[in-house]
Amino acid sequence: MREVNMIPLHSLMENNIYPLYVLEERFKPGGSIIRTNWDYEQSIIELVINDQGIHYLMHIPFYAVQGSLDFPGVTIRLEKPYLLNFEHPESAKSDESDALDFSVANPGLNRETRKVGETVLRKVEELLLPG
């Protein structure tokens, strides 16, 4: 099993409030976002972002501030995002490619990994925040 780094990131979108449908529209796959998953039970937006052959999995926790996640029209507040990264070359296919343990935390993250995480986060923020 490959090692996965969890990187909490400070973000300008943290604590911002959005109608959920706006995020669903803006986080559709395209550009550097190659997949989007919505986990309403755990209240996490999961974005898979490709940057130079490495896939980054960004989790953005959220909670409802108006309405219910069970009904259309809910408004949510975003919490502190975090990034998980792992090497996943596009051409490599193996039985272990999906066997990733995202619960592994690495306290010894280096500056380069954090810098890449912040770059990926800025790409996501550009989709939400006014220029």
Q: Model's pTM, two decimal places? A: 0.72
Q: What is the dihedral of CA 126, 80, 5, 121, to 10 degrees?
A: 10
What's the average pLDDT block by block, 10 residues per block, for the chain (131 residues)? 70 93 83 74 82 79 90 91 65 41 46 76 84 67
Look at residue 7 in the predicted model and tell me its pLDDT: 79
- Please determine, looking at this structure, whether the domain spanning 5-92+101-128 carries the CATH number 3.40.50.300: no
Query: Which residue in this structure is represented by tokens 């949510």?
Result: 76
Domain regions of the chain by residue span: 5-92+101-128
**pLDDT (0 to 100) of residue 48:** 83
H/E segment holding residue 120? helix 111-128
- Rounded Cα distance between 17 and 79, Å, is 10
Burial degree of 27 (CB within 10 A; 0-12, 13-18, 19+): buried
pLDDT for position 42: 80
Among residues 101, 129, 102, 92, the alpha carbon closest in space to that of 11 is found at 129
Contact predicate 75/68, CB 8 Å: no
